[in-house]
Amino acid sequence: MKLDCKHVWEHISEYIDKTVDAKLREEIELHLEHCEICSAILDSTRNILVLTADDRTFELPVGYSERLHKRLAKELASSEKDSEEE
């Protein structure tokens, strides 16, 4: 069976995640070999995922970690006190 582009698009995400079965995978790869449009869609989607996983894209607020551990230290100290009082 020859896949059309729309069918490939429906499975692009699973193809990237390698969760398509072997037969479908082969059909998609065959299609990609001669279809520039689908190859471009695949590439661009992959690039977006690379960018997403890059720590610099989604940054934490400056000082987040320090404030978190300070708050945590306070909590630990107060739970220490509680257990002593018990």
SS3 assignment, position 80: helix
What residue type is assigned to position 20 of the chain?
V
Written as six digits, the tokens of 41 are 């869609």
18 binds other proteins (CB under 8 A): no
Shortest distance (Å) from residue 34 CB to other proteins: 15
DSSP 8-state assignment for residue 1: -
Shortest distance (Å) from residue 41 CB to other proteins: 5
Shortest distance (Å) from residue 55 CB to other proteins: 8
First to last CA, the chain: 72
49 binds other proteins (CB under 8 A): yes
50 binds other proteins (CB under 8 A): yes
